[in-house]
Each structure stands twice: as C-alpha cells, then as structure tokens.
Amino acid sequence: MIGNTVYNASDMSIFYQIPQFIGIGLSEVFASVASLEFAYLTAPHSAQSLVMSLRFCSAGLSSFLGSAYINIYERFYEDFAVANSEV
C-alpha cells in the first residue's frame, strides 16, 4: 500500500519469463554478434553506419511487434493485464 492506493501483486510465476529471456539471449548471440562483426569487419567504412542503423531499426521493429502481440493477447484473455490495477 502506497498512500491510499493498494497494489495487488501478480499471481503469475516469475518463471514464465524464462522463454522470453532465452529468446532474447539467442537473438543476441545469432543476430547482434553477426551484425556487429559484419559492420566492423566486412562492410566498407562508408556503410558501417547504415548497417548499424538497420540493426537498431530491426530491434525497434521487434519491440513494436512484441507490443502488438501483448495487445492481441489481452483482447483474447480479459484476465490478463499488464498495468497495475487499483482496488
């Protein structure tokens, strides 16, 4: 309880986050390392910033798709809520 607001803790286990962390780790290993190696070793000096900007755009796009996935999931399962609910 903070002030006059009561916040309910989630009944979801923290272990539901394991698949997400595995996915993030695999994407870092396979995509990020390869793009960094390409940008600094293979690409010409004039194209290094382009390669890195494409890498960051793909990271932003994946965040956008993750947000869309959560919104779709919330529509099908009304009990699922990301935000804190006040009682």
84 within some domain: no
Domain assignment of residue 42, given as a range: 16-76
69 within some domain: yes
For the chain, the first-to-last Cα distance in angstroms comes to 11
Q: Alpha-carbon distance 79 to 52, whole Å?
A: 40
pLDDT for the residue numbered 51 = 85
User: Between residues 78 and 52, which one has the greater pLDDT?
Assistant: 52
82 within some domain: no
27 within some domain: yes
Task: Output Rg (C-alpha) for the chain, integer angstroms.
Answer: 19
What type of residue is 43? A
In total, how many domains does the chain have?
1
pLDDT tens string 29-76: 887 788 788 888 888 888 888 888 988 898 889 889 988 888 888 788
pLDDT for the residue numbered 80 = 63
85 within some domain: no
User: Between residues 81 and 23, which one has the greater pLDDT?
Assistant: 23
Q: Which two tokens mark 9?
A: 């803790």
Q: Alpha-carbon distance 81 to 32, whole Å?
A: 31
